[in-house]
Chain A
């Protein structure tokens, strides 16, 4: 049953699976392939997309090197520079970053950035080393993906990405402007202008200008532009006024705008503005514009209107109310002859007269006809004292001949005019000038010059400069005399003599040689008498000394009252006399002689006392008499000395009185005078003592 074993299994060696047999090493090439493909894909992505830009010329562009930038970031590379089929321009093929290329709108702008030195500054300096590059500017619009463009020849006026308003300016002449000249508003640069273009259809030039955000909001229909050359020069009553702006501004020229009147309306992109020559013209241009309800009137003038131009102001009491719209001549039929009269058409703004802005013409004319009835007249006036420009003044002359506003069929109402007083103004000015001319200005000046010259000579005189120095020296001398030991010792010596005399009389009294004394006493009495006389003199001198002291006291008070001429004269005089005084032998001899006399007296009295002999008394008294005589003699010269001193001091006082109190000179002087005063006081004290008791000189009591 079980003989039937299982059938022999056909064991077939399983063929090794293709996959099992596969070596892991195959992963290597697969990985390598993947990586390579990835790199290739990346590279392809990086390659970007090509665009074509057509330029007039391809100056500086090198295939493979020149880069293409957007907002100064490299976004592409020039791959090829070729010509268009007819060779009229150059096609630059550039490969751009894919995202950039996708966003290129149709009006994308491309231009070549080259190094450029202009009055606006140096630009593109980096391109000197790196070579030129192509700058792109566009408003990104994803998905647009335009691929063909026409390149600009120069960088656009507006830097890429700037937001603002573009306007058009119109001017008669662009001579003062260059490309890229700045536009200012109140001194701040807010925009640029582009290359001026000549207008063939009419006189003038137009150029585009760009005002950056947010300044473009300042632009309204009331905005006016004017040229600012950077150098302004005006001559007026305030003198010459020169103002210089920045150098770049002077070279490039520039524009300024401002809103010159209120009520402007918002403007549109590309609005046309007039460009005025200067600020005044721009500001006054507000009147050039036809106002909605400007009223036209006309005035006829018989005189010359030279100086009155179209655009001249019409003023009422100095306030501008309108402008001269036109001037023309008219033949007027008079009664029997025809004459030419000049007629100015005035455009008057009722708003300026204080009338409501929406007033109608009828009302304005009513207003004027009433004003004319009340004396309103037109006349010519000078714009300013120094200009020949004329304005039309509306003046109220109640005394004027009656007139009325004349309404004419085909012309504006005629305003009556009066003759202007222009010539009077001229005459007055001329008269003023003549009077100025007649002023003896030159003589006055000559005299002044002469005076100044003499003053100068006087001041420059060396003697004048030396005078104080000399006076100081003199004072020093004087002080030396007064302060010398001899003079100082004088009172001491005198008192020594008196002591000796007292001793002598004592001896005499003790000796009781009265009889013989009589003659001696007489002599002594004589001596005493002369001493008394001297004392009297001294007393007089003392009085004078007191006077002197008073004067000295007054001296300092007078110190401030200075009169230079007087001072110099008296200083010279004083110097001379002081010199003379100091130089006199007498002055020098005084102290010696006094001393000598006293010495003699003392010697005699000493002899007398020492001798003790009555016999000698006679001789002694004779000697005493001699001594007394000598004393008197010496003393007699004292008043002379004090007088001289006094004179000296008086002169000194005069000088010092006319001198400043602060100078060294006056200090010195005061000190000297004080010493003189001390000497004089000592003398007067001595004199007073002798006067009080003359006998004390003899008797010691």
Chain B
């Protein structure tokens, strides 16, 4: 697939009447039900998988709202409880002069998730031809989304570590708020969403199977 971005005209497996294994990439004939190499079930690229992408994406979006509205961290300091939302925390950090940390938190908790939502949505829309996008670019976008996905849990990790470390009872306690769960869910949902995306559709869409006859 590496040459995909160079090739403008590519014969996809689907177009050739074959099925590529999503797991190991081996190409089988139409009749095969399971991959001869890795044993995974074979299925032709199906527009229905896009529904999954959308479903998970929307779920991720929904839970992303409470993740930003509700407090992420509940800090108890000398009997005084302070709730911090993600944005509130970023603003606090910036006010304290920790611009670097504020930037990291902002990027990890706001920019990346939002970017991911946008990227997946854009990909899905381009598959269903609502927006036009070059297959090469689609592919690059997909790779980026997959790569970034694993880094979006930074926030959740920070909260988890803080809560377990800063438990000094009365003087200082950090507890995760509702937002921490929401955020974790949101990240998980978008990851599932990205995983549900069948990359074969990127190419199928550019070169639909019915074009096969004309080529042959």
Contacts and interface: CB of A to CB of B under 8 A. Distances in A.
Contact of A36 (B52, B55, B63, B80): B63
Contact of B55 (A29, A35, A65, A130): A29
B194 interface: no
A699 B134 CA distance: 180
B167 interface: no
Contact of B66 (A26, A27, A40): A40
A47 B140 CA distance: 46
A43 B70 contact: yes
B48 A36 contact: no
Interface in B42-69: 48-49, 51-52, 55-56, 58-59, 61-63, 65-66
B94 interface: no
A25 B56 contact: yes
Nearest to A64: B82
B48 A130 contact: no
A29 B79 contact: no
B59 A28 contact: yes
A28 B56 contact: yes
Interface string A26-48: 11110111011001100100000
B103 interface: no
A129 B78 contact: yes
A22 interface: yes
Contacts of A129: 78-79
A639 B185 CA distance: 139
A21 interface: yes
Nearest to A62: B80
B66 A28 contact: no
Interface string B73-95: 00000111000000000000000
Nearest to B50: A23
A90 to B, nearest CB: 22
B59 A29 contact: yes
B66 A39 contact: yes
Given A39-B178, A43-B70, A129-B79, A32 B51 contact: no
Interface in B162-216: 178, 182, 185, 189, 196
A26 B58 CA distance: 9
Nearest to B196: A25
Contact of B52 (A23, A32, A39, A131): A23
B178 A32 contact: no
Contacts of B182: 36
Contact of A32 (B48, B62, B79, B80): B62
Nearest to B61: A29
A650 to B, nearest CB: 99
Contacts of A32: 58-59, 62-63, 185, 189
A426 B80 CA distance: 78
Contacts of A23: 48-49, 51-52, 55
B178 to A, nearest CB: 6
A25 B51 contact: yes
Contacts of B59: 28-29, 31-33
Interface string A188-210: 00000000000000000000000
Main secondary structure of the interface of B (DSSP, over half): helix
A26 B48 CA distance: 11
Interface residues of B, number: 22
Contacts of A22: 51
A67 to B, nearest CB: 10
Given A21-B48, A25-B56, A36 B79 contact: no
Interface in A73-131: 129-131
Contacts of A31: 59
A135 to B, nearest CB: 18
Nearest to A26: B55
B108 to A, nearest CB: 22
B141 to A, nearest CB: 21
B62 to A, nearest CB: 4
A627 to B, nearest CB: 122
Nearest to B192: A28
Contacts of A43: 70
A344 B79 CA distance: 73
A27 B59 CA distance: 9
Nearest to B53: A25
Contacts of B66: 36, 39-40
B24 to A, nearest CB: 24
Contacts of B178: 39
Contacts of B63: 32, 35-36
A36 B59 CA distance: 10
B55 A28 contact: yes
A701 to B, nearest CB: 125
Interface string A1-36: 000000000000000000001110111110111011
Nearest to B57: A29
A115 to B, nearest CB: 15
A29 B65 CA distance: 13
Contact of B62 (A26, A27, A29, A131): A29
A26 B62 CA distance: 13
Contacts of A27: 55
A178 to B, nearest CB: 33
Nearest to A16: B48
Interface string A637-666: 000000000000000000000000000000
Nearest to A35: B63
Contacts of A39: 66, 70, 178
A25 B46 CA distance: 15
Contact of A25 (B55, B65, B70, B80): B55
A67 B178 CA distance: 22
A124 to B, nearest CB: 15
A392 B49 CA distance: 117
A36 B64 CA distance: 10
Contacts of B80: 65, 131
B51 A36 contact: no
> Counting chain B CB atoms within 10 Å of each CB, which of A27, A29, A31, A65 scores highest?
A29
A33 B63 CA distance: 7
B70 A28 contact: no
B168 to A, nearest CB: 15
A25 B52 CA distance: 5
Nearest to B58: A29
A40 B179 CA distance: 12
Interface string A42-78: 0100000000000000000000010000000000000
A21 B56 CA distance: 17
Interface in B26-52: 48-49, 51-52
B62 A33 contact: yes
A196 B58 CA distance: 69
Nearest to A34: B62
A113 to B, nearest CB: 15
A449 B60 CA distance: 112
A43 B189 CA distance: 23
Contacts of B49: 23
A131 B77 CA distance: 13
Given A25-B196, A28-B189, A33-B62, 7 more contacts: A23-B55, A25-B56, A29-B55, A32-B62, A36-B65, A129-B78, A130-B79
8 contacts: A22-B51, A23-B51, A25-B51, A25-B55, A27-B55, A29-B61, A32-B62, A36-B66
Please list the 7 inter-chain residue pairs (A to B) with the smallest Cβ-Cβ separation, ordered nearest first.
A25-B55, A29-B59, A23-B51, A29-B58, A25-B52, A32-B59, A28-B59
Interface of A: 21-23, 25-29, 31-33, 35-36, 39-40, 43, 65, 129-131
